Amino acid sequence: MKFLKIKARNKTLKVKDCRGLRSITGLMFDPMRNHDGALIYGNCLWMPFVKQNLKLVFLDAEFKVVNIQSSVPLSTDSRSWKIYSSPNANYCLETKRNVTVKLGDKLMVK
């Protein structure tokens, strides 16, 4: 598993690098014990088998924040049956909700 460091404002996050087929799974079945989230290469996702609420930070090609959404895990409650997307995004940073970012912020990826 490859990890990336992403700097968001004054905090550095350790996230899974989810390229290719890993973009399909993202944080499914992942307890996130040793990292802060995942960088998904795409702009549309859903939350099956994700066990916690997440902040979804959608990024353009230059890693500028273009949309921020809060997600909930898929459950038997039909309100959770949702696809999260942002047509102007190239990436989605799935992360714990304690990350502070605002629209227009540019994240640094290492």
Domain boundaries, the chain: 3-102
pLDDT computed for residue 64 by the predictor = 98
User: pTM of the entire structure?
Assistant: 0.86
Q: Which residues of the chain have pLDDT under 70?
A: 20-32, 48-50, 97
Please report, for residues 24, 41, 76, the alpha-carbon distance to residue 94 in angstroms, rounded to integers and kept in the order given: 13, 11, 22
pLDDT score of 61: 97
Question: Residue 2: which residues within 8 A CB-CB, separation 6 or more?
Answer: 16, 17
Question: Strands 54-59, 91-95: parallel, antiparallel or unpaired by DSSP?
Answer: antiparallel
Pairing state of beta strands 84-85 and 11-18?
A: unpaired
pLDDT tens readout for residues 5-33: 999 888 899 998 887 655 555 555 556 67
pLDDT of residue 23: 56
Give me the pLDDT at residue 108, please: 94
Please name the residues in contact with 32: beta carbons below 8 A apart, sequence gap of 6 or more: 52, 96
